[in-house]
Amino acid sequence: LRTGEPEAVYAAGKTTGQLIDITTSLLAAHPDRPVLLTRISDEATAALRDNFDHVTADPLAAAATVGPPASPRNGEVAIACAGTSDLPVAAEAAFTTRAFGLTATMVTDVGVAGIHRVLASRPTLADADCVIVVAGMDGALPSVIGGLIDTPLIAVPTSVGYGSALGGMAPLLTMLNSCAPGVAVVNIDNGYGAAVCAARVVRARHRRVTPVAQATAGAISPPPR
């Protein structure tokens, strides 16, 4: 892994003691980069604050970082979701994005049953380097957004819903069968994984194009819209 990128700890099912131990040893091994803890309780976050100096946390995302922040980079990830229930997953994606030193822009309250708000969000989404779309229940939002923009789009199904939502399997299947081509999908509620995927996309941009662009800027004109 490259310098400064966070080490990640999945805190669910670990005791506060275990989390402090793991964080301590990861910081010792890589003092230049943050430790990112996801699925962390408020109690465990409070314990982190008692034990370490640089703790940032978002209770909605159930996430925290300890240690030096990642160095900021030039890259913007837009994260869209329909409503309150999907917010924790969207917030996990945003918190992780920021822990990687990237800019995260939240676009909430866009649901397919209110299509005009989705259309109104198009400029923001089209402007990002990568878009993460979070949706539960019918999981239809990525299909609509995927038809509006040609940005890389990562879909995150959530476990929001009941009955035949099957704990998120329904929106997962919806997204895998999206009629908008080029939609890629991560596990149910996996805001963290979507953000790491987005960081891979942005990283590819930095690493590869800059030298090519310098040599061939005249040859490769930006593709017309």
Cα atoms in the Cβ-side hemisphere of radius 13 Å centred on 33: 17
The one among 29, 46, 120, 173 contacting a second copy by CB under 8 A? 173
| Alpha carbon distance 83, 141 (integer Å) | 12
**Is 74 a binder of ligand AMP (CB under 6 A)?**
no
**Is 75 a binder of ligand AMP (CB under 6 A)?**
no
Closest CA to 73 of 208, 210, 202: 202
The one among 16, 80, 193, 197 contacting ligand AMP by CB under 6 A? 193
**Is 199 a binder of ligand AMP (CB under 6 A)?**
no
**Is 88 a binder of ligand AMP (CB under 6 A)?**
no
| Residue number, 68 or 169, with CB nearest to a second copy | 169
Nearest distance in Å: CB 36, ligand AMP = 7
55 in Cβ contact with 37 (< 8 Å): no
Footprint on residues 114-143 left by Mg ion (CB under 5 A) = 135, 140-141
- Number of residues located near Mg ion, criterion CB under 5 A: 5
Here's the x/- map for ligand AMP, 13-52, by CB under 6 A: it reads as -------------------------xx-------------
From the list ligand AMP, a second copy, Mg ion, none, pick the one residue 87 interacts with, judged by a Cβ distance below 5 to 8 Å according to partner type: none
**Is 94 a binder of Mg ion (CB under 5 A)?**
no
Give the binding range for a second copy (CB under 8 A) out of 42-50, 52-60, 61-69, 192-200.
192-200
